Structure 1
Amino acid sequence: MFSRWQRADQFDWLSGYLAARGISGATRALMAFISTSLVLCLLVLLFGSDGPRGAVPVAMTWAAVAGGTAGALLWVWRWPTRAQSVAYGLTCNIAVALACLAHPKPLPALIGCIAFATFGAYMAFFHTTGFVLYNFAVAAAVGLFEAGRLAKAGHPSLAVVDLWLVVEVNIALPLAIGVLVRALAGDLLRADRDPLTGLLNRRAFAHNALGMMLSRRGIDAHLVVLVVDLDNFKGLNDNRGHAAGDYALVQVGQALLAAAEEQAVVARSGGEEFLLAGTAANCNAEQLAKQICNAIAGSTVGVTASVGTACARLDETTPGDPQALLIDLITASDAAMYQAKRLGGNGFYHHELCGQQR
């Protein structure tokens, strides 16, 4: 069920967008602060006179502390992968539920359910509606349980009012964040598309590739970048007209999408040049480059392509700025593409930053 909810979220492109704007570090600090605040609040309750009493409630609260601590350490350590981000949101959701259910007094426990809204907003910002609904369902269930306890204690009107406040904030905050992010995404993604091929443009390529790098680091060991440039494209335009040239560009774009892995980023960088970035277990881009060359040469568009590839390590030990690494790989693969042209075109040349050029 959760794997279905993870599809088509905005985690990768938002990660890249924040990194490209230089604010991913501030975002990590904010999320670490939120998680640490949760932990500190729970510790105050544990060691204060108004906290949980009894072995089971205390154990539940310590479990919530452990979950919040794990979340804080994640953001201090690194920018999470998509799976780690989902795990963070779900862990914090469980931590808030445990902390509220463990409290001996129903009114503070009910008010504590407002904290669910923070992680509902997080899911709305980075992930899908399914996770937001899950967070709301847990918040509503815990809130309803605590409201029932409060009503039984002789405060039914207070229970109704506070429950409504909990429900309201857990609807309004994630909904507002979700609507805002999706509106922003629609505008940005439309502006980031090449109108002819429907592929990303060069600016969007950088944002999306950065997001992929951040989310795939620790999963795949290498980043591979390809520059694809059509051979004798000017001759095609001169001999058969611009309509034929446009048709060729569209078909080449479709061929690149078909050849690329699902998580790869494909763009038209301008003119007859295309960019592709993907992650892999090793630096061997030969099979993909051959597949692209053969697909373009075997099509009906009447052109061939020169492909330059470059690769570098992408793991937790890789030093430096991901954006600088991406620029270096684009520069290296561009130089490799021109070397492929000098060798006659309709072929590829590889430059491996973490190894030897060949």
Structure 2
Amino acid sequence: MAKALRDWWQQPGHFYWITAFLAARGAQVFTCRAVALYTLGIGAISLAMLWSPNGPDGILAQSLVIGVAVCCTLKALVWMRNKWPTRGWSGAYAVTTSVCIAVSCLAQSNPVAGLLGTTTFAALAGFIAFFHTARFLAFNLIVTAATAVFLAVRVAEQNDAVWAACALALVAVANLAVPFGCQAVVHLLDIDVLNTEIDPLTGLLNREAFYRTTGEFVAARARIDDRYLVIVLVSLDNFTLLTGTDGKVSGDRAEVAVAQTLRETTRSNAIVAHVGEAEFLIADTFATTDASPLVERVRGAIATTPPRLTASIGVVATPMRGLADCPPHELMDELVVFAEEAMADARRAGGNMACTVVCSMPTVLAEKNTWDRFDDEPR
């Protein structure tokens, strides 16, 4: 039992993995809207209780409830943006929302109304279980327990101890079942296995996963698709200077910020990976070899993302048709080398620009066609 609790306490947060999971399925906006609606609901219900005889009584209690409503509204507006929050902001949201719920429940003049309100903690606990560490979940559970016990004691003092005990038990079941059920779902998704394909810093795919995912995409589409496969290599300029001046933590923050920028500026079906220090790969398809709309959007977005680094970008485009017959790992190796050479040209030219290479036929495909012709010759 002690070992299980220790393992639970030490398990890492899943913020970046879940972020990548949602981004890959185009579900980030929906998730933001759902969290915003939940947060706005907390504020609206708290405010509505001002007109209830069971609601807050007195200037102080009413002021606290109004403050909760204002705080929740502001946080809901942040979630309504088309921008995924940082891990730090999400953690701060979890802590402050827990406190807001507690204040709203404790401010009610009727403890029964407050005890009913503590069920709201359960949804927040589910959010924490999906995105954050056990420490955040423990904080929320402690706040929930303290609030519910205090209110249950007040109900018991009104000569209804049985009802108070039953209500307290129901609150405990809800606030334990939801978060631990959510954590079970996360593990049923084989998160420990999937984490081997996820870069732990940014939550993007790593190189091996990028090669595999892009290879699977090519295999599924290349026989029927007349589009072009485009590989984009993004390398941050002056990254070594940043880490040397401001330290590794600043470099990590820059990579995380750029990773989120790439999620937001690429299409939902694009494949994005973090493959090395300050280097990112993007795979997408285009009707022509001109990927400048994507490249310029990425370059401009990175330049405006704190700490406002620039990027040297290498692009390689090749026809999709026929690529399904290529060994995927060898194909990706060759295309990434082309992209690296183009990126190096962009950096030598001063950085903050992109260079494009058009590969009419990868060597691995040409060699395969040669062997196929050789095999077809009569003997």
TM-score range, shorter chain: 0.5 to 0.7
1:307-329 deviations in Å (ceiling 9; x for gaps): xxxx72446968xxxxxxx9x96
Give a deviation string over 1:68-126, Cα, whole Å, max 9, x none: 11220111123111111011111110110000010011111111111111111111010
SS in 2 for 1:103: coil
CA distance, structure 1, for counterparts of residue 68 and residue 233 of structure 2: 40
Give the gaps of 5 or more residues in structure 2: 1-8, 200-205, 215-231, 237-247, 260-273, 281-297, 306-310, 318-333, 356-379
Describe how 1:183-222 pairs up with structure 2 within 5 A.
183-184=188-189, 185-190=191-196, 200-202=208-210
Runs of 4+ displaced beyond 6 Å = 203-206, 315-318, 332-336
Q: CA deviation at 1:130?
A: 1.1
Q: How many residues align?
A: 255
3-state DSSP of counterpart to 2:80: helix
- Counterpart in the other structure of 2:293: none
Q: Give 2:322's aligned residue.
A: none
Identity of aligned residues (%): 26
Cα distance, 1:340 vs structure 2: 6.2
Query: Secondary structure of 2:56's partner?
Result: coil
CA distance in 2, matches of 1:87, 1:201: 31
Give the CA deviation at 1:202.
0.4
Counterpart residue number, 2:372: none
Task: Name the aligned partner's letter for residue 47 of structure 2.
Answer: L
Structure 2 counterpart of 1:36: 40
Q: Which residue of 2 aligns with 1:89?
A: 94
Displacement after TM superposition at 1:42 (Å):
1.3
Shift in CA distance, 60/7, structure 1 to aligned 2, threshold 3 Å: farther
Shift of 1:262: 5.0
Equivalent residue for 2:315, pick from 317, 322, 331? 331
Alpha-carbon RMSD: 4.2
CA contact 1:35–1:68 (8 Å) conserved in 2: yes
Q: Which residue of 1 aligns with 2:147?
A: 142
Once residues 146 and 34 of structure 1 are traced to their aligned partners in structure 2, the CA distance between those partners, rounded to angstroms, is 23
Cα 1:224/1:98, change in 2 over 3 Å? farther
Aligned with residue 225 of structure 1, among 221, 224, 234: 234
For 1:1-358, what aligned pairs fall within 5 Å after superposition?
8-77=12-81, 78-184=83-189, 185-190=191-196, 200-202=208-210, 225-226=234-235, 262=252, 275-276=275-276, 278=278, 312-314=299-301, 331=315, 337-338=337-338, 348-350=344-346, 355-357=352-354
Q: Distance in 2 between matches of 1:32 and 1:203?
A: 36
In 1, distance between residues paired with 2:164 and 2:208? 52
C-alpha distance in 2 between matches for 1:353 and 1:28: 39
Residue 161 of structure 2 aligns with an amino acid whose one-letter code is: P
CA contact (8 A) 1:225 1:276 kept: no
Q: Quick one: distance in 1 between partners of 2:313 and 2:213?
A: 13
Distance in 2 separating the partners of 1:348 and 1:109: 63
Gaps of 5+ in 1: 207-222, 228-257, 267-273, 281-310, 319-325
